[in-house]
A = this chain, B = another copy of it.
Amino acid sequence: MVDMQKSELPRLAILGGTGNEGPGLALRWGSAGYPIIIGSRYADKAQETAQALNEQLGIETIQGMVNNQAARKADICVLTVVHTAHQAAIESLGEDLQGKILVDATARVDFRDPRPPAPPSAARMAQDKLGPGVRVVAAFQNIPAHLLKKRLGEALDADVLVCADDQEAAQQVMQLAENAGMSAYYAGGLDNAVVVEGLTAIAISLNKHYGVKTASIAVTGIPKEP
């Protein structure tokens, strides 16, 4: 029964998945039973990361391959590159992503000079570049990598703001978040994502001022469904 359910879970590719955020998300989703592919510009680096994640979870199903191949094999692709690599990644993956959901998790900030970004959002730029054949959803930008890697079975003390023009794609990504132990909220269209991208600048300031690595935000004022 469990195996049947698991076989129905979408296959996830985490593109640029050898950094900080990507492996954290992979751990959560791998642990929840999703089939995972780690993508990287370099196949050997992707395979190394996949292997390390398999060992950590005691499984053998996480694969590593180059980004393009990973994107083609997946149902939902999650982009976790650093913001300086965002545009090049979108351009090189345009064909491979057609027909799929692209979750843009790019933290749009220069860590040496962490100022808030100006519109349009990275997610809007991605959507404009990729065209209507790809459904872009912005999510997970504000989830500290530090939190993802800890206590995998427990709920995270940070909420996911999901911005998308396509409601059905947003719902699928909210399900991904919930299955990884995060509460997710639909927070408007892709233009709103620039605010979530800017929360990284706020989190950096909070982390610095309060001497932590885990500052983020939760949504308040919305009663949870029973």
Q: Does A67 contact B (CB under 8 A)?
A: no
Residues of B within 8 A of A115 (CB): 119, 191-192
- Whether A116 sits at the interface, judged by CB under 8 Å, is yes
A110-124 contact mask (Cβ, 8 Å, vs B): 1 or 0: 000001101100000
* Interface stretch of the complex, out of A42-50, A80-88, A213-221: A213-221
Number of copies: 2
Bound CA span A199–B209, Å: 21
Q: How far is the CA of A92 from the CA of B43 in the complex (A)?
A: 62
Having A189-B205, A198-B198, one finds 6 other A-B pairs with CB under 8 Å, namely A115-B192, A187-B209, A188-B206, A194-B198, A214-B221, A217-B219
- A206's partner among B205, B218, B219 (CB-CB below 8 A) is B219
Residue A185 interfacial (CB < 8 Å): yes
* B-contacting residues, A23-50, CB 8 Å: none
B-facing residues in A172-203 (Cβ within 8 Å): 185-189, 191-192, 194-196, 198-199, 201-202
Q: Are A221's CB and B158's CB within 8 A?
A: yes
Question: How would residues 47 to 83 of chain A score, 1 for a CB under 8 Å from any chain B CB and 0 otherwise?
Answer: 0000000000000000000000000000000000000
Contacts of A205 in B (CB 8 A): 186-189, 192
Classify chain A: how many residues form its interface, as a range: 35 or more
Q: Chain A contact residues: over half helix, strand or loop, or mixed?
A: mixed
The complex places the Cα of A173 from the Cα of B191 at a distance, in Å, of: 31
* A195–B199 CB distance below 8 A: yes
* 10 nearest CB pairs, A to B: A188-B205, A214-B221, A195-B198, A215-B221, A217-B217, A118-B118, A157-B220, A116-B195, A210-B222, A218-B218
